[in-house]
Amino acid sequence: MLTKNQTILFCLLAAALILPTNIYLVGEEGLGAGLQSPLLRYQQTYLGTSVITLVDDLDYVTSGVIGGRSALSILVWALGTVLLLAAAGYLVYCRYDGITGTKKPIVLLVAGGAAAYLLSCILQYGPLLHGPAGLSVPVGVPLILAIAGYVMRMEEDEELECEDEGDSGEDTEGED
């Protein structure tokens, strides 16, 4: 059975994989707009409406349909998704293996995923997230970093609880 903190953390990681991470406009002329989550992208352009999964994007890159900065951006985005999935997998592994120790790998994986998403937006749209390719607002990056901060704080709280339990259980010698 998952503890309360593990359940909350697992739900937060699941939400990070589902909720939109990036809102973007295509081109300076407003050729389209879209919402991008770690696993898929919803896009409306003058050509129509599309739902493009990460697997489809990777297929476009490997087949050569998409190249250059856009291909690199997609690969970095995929790396961020892999890091978030690895954090969720590590959490499940710790649960079933009975590991209650450090959560630093989860913090690093989640923060690395957020950094990869931000880097992907910078690669596609430029350092100011605005350029000839369009405009990007990476709304999910601060939320994912907040999840990493929550995990870090949760670990510090657990360490303090362990120290308090250790202090209260000490024998007092020489008080007879």
Identify the bridge partners of residue 23 per DSSP, sorted by sequence position.
Answer: 35, 137
pTM, two decimal places? 0.86
pLDDT given at position 10: 86
For the segment 120-155, what is each residue's pLDDT rounded down to a tens digit?
999 999 999 998 889 999 999 999 999 999 988 887
How far apart CA 80 and CA 145 sit, in angstroms, is: 12
At 94, the pLDDT band (50, 70, 90 cuts) reads confident
| Mean confidence (pLDDT) of the chain | 87
For the segment 44-59, what is each residue's pLDDT rounded down to a tens digit?
999 999 999 999 999 9
pLDDT at 166 over 70: no
Region 71-88 average pLDDT: 96
How far apart CA 43 and CA 139 sit, in angstroms, is: 16
pLDDT at 117 over 70: yes
Domains and CATH numbers, the chain: 4-159 (1.20.140)
